[in-house]
Amino acid sequence: MRLLVDFLCRFGWGLSMALVLTPAALVPAGFFRVNMLVVLGLATFAALLCGQSFPGLGWLLPAAAAVTAWMASVAWYAERTRPGMVLCGVTAVLLAAATTLVQFAPGGATGGTEWSVGNGPGWTGVGVALLSGLVTGLTVHAMLLGHWYLNAPGMRVDVLRRMIDVALVAWGVQLVVALAWAGLAGGTNASVSGGPTTLALVSLRWLAGLAGLPVLLWLSRKTLDIPNTQSATGILYVACLAAILGELTAQLLAVAA
């Protein structure tokens, strides 16, 4: 249950931040409204699960994020760009704080993350959790943006190209962090123990999230050179599966660490 809360908060943060990075002057307000409703669902689900998984007032942050996400959707419905963008940013901050709380909660979702060496997750684990959510959120956001071209065929293709580039940058940072952690863990004998199951999870993590994802993002970007937004969106659907599968596997490995 706590793994699910962690994933929902990460995902919601990443999707909200992706909207903040989207040029509102080039994308219709309806896209922001619909996606903030998606964030509303993620935050609400996380708040409900927090009431069962975390003692005290841990549900307040995702609940507050759900409220601001709803307010943002109303602002975008009224085509109020500046308030809508501000509320998207506030929602992202609240869900980032919720993600941080999950990492530091006693017996929290990770119980010591895959990326940290030593006792407890520390701020390194928090940074990795936020980066994980950003990779997932940006990839799903790019897919949803590609799908939106069906509603707004006149929208400029370079908007989608730009968001794919941002997702690739986030993946690149994540790869550097993963390689740095692997080297540090090897130097301190702090590796994840386990048998064939752990080996399978590690392989899936690297093949889907760290090797397969950039290939799919690159293919979708090259498809836009034709340009063919529908084919690019189809590739991005598969990229979403790779990103989500890779990040969930990383969370499972963190628990086993």
In this predicted structure, the answer to whether residue 102 has a pLDDT above a threshold of 70 is: yes
Residue 31 burial (10 A CB sphere; 0-12, 13-18, 19+): buried
Residue 212's pLDDT band (cuts 50, 70, 90):
very high
Distance of CA 13 to the CA centre of its chain: 7
Q: What is the pLDDT, as a whole number, of residue 120?
A: 41
Q: Per mean pLDDT, which of 111-125, 159-173, 242-256 is the most reliable?
A: 159-173
Stretch 190-209: mean pLDDT:
72
What b/e string do you get for 44-80 counting C-beta neighbours within 10 Å, with b at 16 or more? bbbbbbbeebbeeebbebbbbbbbbbbbbbebbbeee
* Residue 18, both tokens: 């992706």
The Cα 134–Cα 17 span in angstroms is 7
Q: What is the pLDDT, as a whole number, of residue 110?
A: 42
In this predicted structure, the answer to whether residue 180 has a pLDDT above a threshold of 90 is: no
Per-residue pLDDT tens for 64-95?
999 999 999 999 999 999 999 999 999 999 99
How many CA within 13 A on the CB side of residue 97?
14
Distance of CA 88 to the CA centre of its chain: 15
The percentage of residues in the chain with a pLDDT greater than 70, rounded to a whole number, is: 83
Q: What is the pLDDT, as a whole number, of residue 103?
A: 82
Q: What is the pLDDT, as a whole number, of residue 11?
A: 95
In this predicted structure, the answer to whether residue 113 has a pLDDT above a threshold of 60 is: no
In this predicted structure, the answer to whether residue 117 has a pLDDT above a threshold of 80 is: no
In this predicted structure, the answer to whether residue 114 has a pLDDT above a threshold of 60 is: no
Per-residue pLDDT tens for 31-70?
999 999 999 999 999 998 886 666 666 788 999 999 999 9
Average pLDDT, the chain: 84
